[in-house]
Amino acid sequence: MKVTEHIQEAKGNTLVSFEVLPPLKGKTIQSLYNHLDPLMEFKPAYINVTYHRAETMFKKRVDGSFEQVEVRKRPGTVGICAAIRNHYNIDTVPHLICGGFNKQETENALIDLNFLGIDNVLVLRGDAAKNESSFEPHPGGHLYAIDLLKQVVNLNNGIYIEDDIQNGEKTKFCIGVAGYPEKHFEAPNLEIDLQNLKKKVDAGADYIMTQMFFDNSKFFQFVKDCRACGINVPIIPGLKPLTSKKQLSVLPRIFHVDIPTELSLEVMKCKTDADVEIVGTEWLLQQSRELKEFGAPVLHYYTLGKPKVIWNVVKELV
């Protein structure tokens, strides 16, 4: 089922969904099931699986010189989506990115997903590779998420890259895109970022999934601004628990989000990360309750190695 169908069927009730990363290369799929098993009691509507581009690394040869190698540390997104679907009989949302892929590889991945019966994709640009100062598209790939989105929309209309394919099967992907209540870090301002988001929606995005945020008022304002500029698709808040003191500086640096003063002060008072986890759990619970009250269609939790914290929060909500 599509994410939008889940939302329609819920008739205004707030659903939950979870997001996982593929296990590191060499780890088993069981490690992922162990992570997800306890969360399944909350009957999530779907599970998102992130995508990770290959990284360029330098490996030392025996003669002391260095060899440049491409390493994908977390491969398997498409396979994991199929595995989770089989294992739990639940819908999955694979993330697809522009970075590192040409259009043919993207089309092949979409064909695989279609054959596997996966109805959803979250289309993203991806970040710059670690050895690049800014995002560089693959020479045969896409520059912005909207370009990737248009490729999926084309496939939904039976338009494949090879124009000699006549009456090609029309896929039926439900397409999600990313939105940033606190602005995408490269956008000159919130207004321009919102205009770019509207272009993605006008080009066929079915819903928006947000970057994490710790201050609900930023999400409420974002929804208001989206509605004011004619964005009428569902907007799903992305939520993450704060679980260590280090995150006070790491999260703003990596994800370009603010940590509210009240939360920062509480965290700074903590003696250990176990204490931070208690503060972070309570904060996330309050955020979740308020978002549910607001009528958020889905509460989407980034579980990122902290399924127990998410479990503690969601059990209080149901």
Ligand X SMILES: Cc1cc2nc3c(=O)[nH]c(=O)nc-3n(C[C@H](O)[C@H](O)[C@H](O)COP(=O)(O)OP(=O)(O)OC[C@H]3O[C@@H](n4cnc5c(N)ncnc54)[C@H](O)[C@@H]3O)c2cc1C
Contacting positions for ligand X (CB under 6 A): 50-51, 53, 95, 97, 124-127, 144-146, 178, 184, 186-187, 193, 196, 209, 211, 238
Q: Which is closer to ligand X, CB of 193 or CB of 266?
A: 193
C-beta of 256: minimal distance to ligand X in Å?
9
Q: Which is closer to ligand X, CB of 193 or CB of 277?
A: 193
C-beta of 2: minimal distance to ligand X in Å?
17
Q: Which is closer to ligand X, CB of 17 or CB of 243?
A: 17
Question: Which residues are CB-neighbours of 227 under 8 A, at least 6 positions away?
Answer: none
Q: Give CA separation, 245 vs 36, 189, 251, 272, in Å.
A: 25, 29, 10, 8
Q: Which is closer to ligand X, CB of 279 or CB of 284?
A: 284
In angstroms, the CA 290 to CA 84 distance is 30
Q: Which is closer to ligand X, CB of 250 or CB of 274?
A: 250
C-beta of 50: minimal distance to ligand X in Å?
3
C-beta of 98: minimal distance to ligand X in Å?
7
273 exposed, middle or buried (CB, 10 Å; 0-12, 13-18, 19+)?
middle
- What is the DSSP track for 126-182? -PPPTT-SS----TTS-SSHHHHHHHHHHHHTT--SSTT--SPPPP--EEEEEE-TT
C-beta of 169: minimal distance to ligand X in Å?
26
If you ran DSSP here, which 8-state letter would residue 141 be given? Answer: S
In angstroms, the CA 300 to CA 53 distance is 23
